[in-house]
Amino acid sequence: MIPIRIGIQQRVLPSYRIPFFDTLAQDFPGGLCVFAGEPRKEEALNTNARLEHAQHAHGRNIHLFEGKFYMCWQSGLLEWLRQWQPDVLIMEANPRYLTSQAAIRWMKSHGGKVIGWGLGSPKPQGNLTGLRLYLRRRFVSQLDALITYSLKGADEYAQLGIDPGRIFTAPNAVAPKPRHEMPERSKAYSAGKPVVLFVGRLQPRKRVDLLIHACARLKQYQPQLWIVGDGPYRHKLEDLAAAHYPETQFYGAKHGKDLEKLMRRADIFALPGTGGLAVQQAMAFGLPVIVGESDGTESDLVRKENGWVLPEASADALAGLLSEALNNLSDLRRMGQASFRIVLEDVNLERMVAAFKRAIESVKKN
């Protein structure tokens, strides 16, 4: 047990992060408190779950502009720091959050340490590239350490001039390592029809529409397509499926044992869009995966031995990968075994917590 008081700044506190923060809090008896505000309505994030071991301080997010110009002002952040008095502050390494600079200055003036938590630093595109790189480099250089999800992200931070010894890689996980054995699957598709599974919030950025169109274009194997989840886009997707691929079944939101049953019966998991935290969960049930290239977090999770990264957001490209996957069942089963091994050994909640602890211990030593 480590007698250090931890503060964590987040723009929002989605339900899928609750297990991580509660697990991390149990290793810090000095206390762990998460400061976070509310998402925009169009984000459709579930924020209903409550922390049990960590504390939650509510901030007020003021969302400014949209898209690449988006910025956020978090009202109440400095007041929370004064009340909580953290020894270490872990904050989103995002210069678009306008109160972050003030929080860093407060921590430094009170002898605290600041760790940034981010995806990495992909090369900016478009106008003012040089200025944007300068501002990003100046921001992260103030941090005592950086935590990122992938080796790709770590390399991007190193290219900004950050000492690699100050960069820690924590796999982006929402579930602990599997406690069950690798699910056994038959050497033939049930009733001759493979099952393609999607799990996630039904909103445009998930690109479930591509999945429906891709399944409709398959020739040899036309799979059962199982869509698990709910959201503002569901009715449009149901209409699309009825018109183009009636083999689609919508299950609504499923959790726990109900979701586990569906994952055990599926043959492959597909997420053509972004926000793929369900990927790790699917891999824990021995499913090979097809994912869209999004924020870089998939780079250490989805590998050649267990899945595919969609090269472009098109139904033809996705149909090509599905055809390759479903037409060779023995390879598909082997890839499912690789998925299970990856989440058992490399990408799980325990490994993520351990990486955060190493980063915290490192900054406290210096």
Query: Which tokens go with 323?
Result: 């055809």
Answer whether 206's CB lies under 8 Å from 274's CB: yes
**Would you list the DSSP string of 127-185?**
TTHHHHHHHHHHHHTT-SEEEESSHHHHHHHHHTT--GGGEEE----SSPSP-SPPPP-
Residue count (the chain):
366
Q: What is the pLDDT of residue 244?
A: 97
Q: What is the pLDDT of residue 1?
A: 57
Contact of 61 with 35, CB cutoff 8 Å? no
Confidence at residue 67, expressed as pLDDT on a 0 to 100 scale: 81
More confident of the two residues 175 and 64? 64
Average pLDDT, integer, range 66-87: 94
Mean pLDDT of the chain: 92
Mean pLDDT of 203-220: 94
For 327, the 3-state DSSP assignment is coil
Classify residue 3 as exposed, middle or buried by CB count within 10 Å of its CB (0-12, 13-18, 19+).
exposed
pLDDT in tens, 155-170: 999 999 999 999 999 9
Percent of the chain with pLDDT over 70: 97
Output the pLDDT for position 338.
Answer: 97
Does 190-345 match 6-172+348-365 at the fold level? yes
Q: Which pLDDT belongs to residue 125? A: 72
How is domain 190-345 classified at the CATH fold level? Rossmann fold (3.40.50)
Q: What is the pLDDT of residues 330-348, one digit of tens each?
A: 999 999 999 999 999 999 9
pLDDT of residue 123: 76
d(CA 187, CA 209): 30
Per-residue pLDDT reduced to its tens digit, 286-327: 999 999 976 566 667 899 999 999 989 999 999 999 999 999
Distance CA 20, CA 352 (A): 8
The 3-state DSSP class for residue 324 equals: helix
Name which residue leads in pLDDT, 236 or 296: 236
- Mean pLDDT across 225-230: 96
The full set of domain ranges for the chain reads: 6-172+348-365, 190-345
Quote the CA–CA distance of 208 and 227 in Å, as a whole number.
Answer: 8
pTM: 0.89
CA distances from 81 to 9, 87, 88, 107, 298 (A): 10, 10, 11, 8, 33
Provide the pLDDT for residue 301: 87
pLDDT tens, residue by residue, 6-42: 999 999 999 989 999 999 999 999 999 999 999 988 7
Q: In which band, very low, low, confident or very high, does the pLDDT at 43 lie, cut at 50, 70 and 90? A: confident
Provide long-range contacts, Cβ within 8 A and 24+ apart, for 183-190: 183/264, 183/285, 183/286, 185/267, 185/286, 185/333, 185/336, 187/329, 187/330, 187/333, 188/329, 189/221, 189/267, 189/329, 190/265
Residue 121 confidence class, pLDDT cut points 50, 70, 90: confident
State pLDDT tens for residues 238-297. 999 999 999 999 999 998 899 999 999 999 999 999 876 789 999 999 999 999 976 566
Determine which of 172-181, 193-202, 275-284 has the lowest per-residue pLDDT on average: 275-284
Centroid of chain to Cα 135: 25
Residue 296, pLDDT score? 60
The CATH number of 6-172+348-365 is 3.40.50.2000
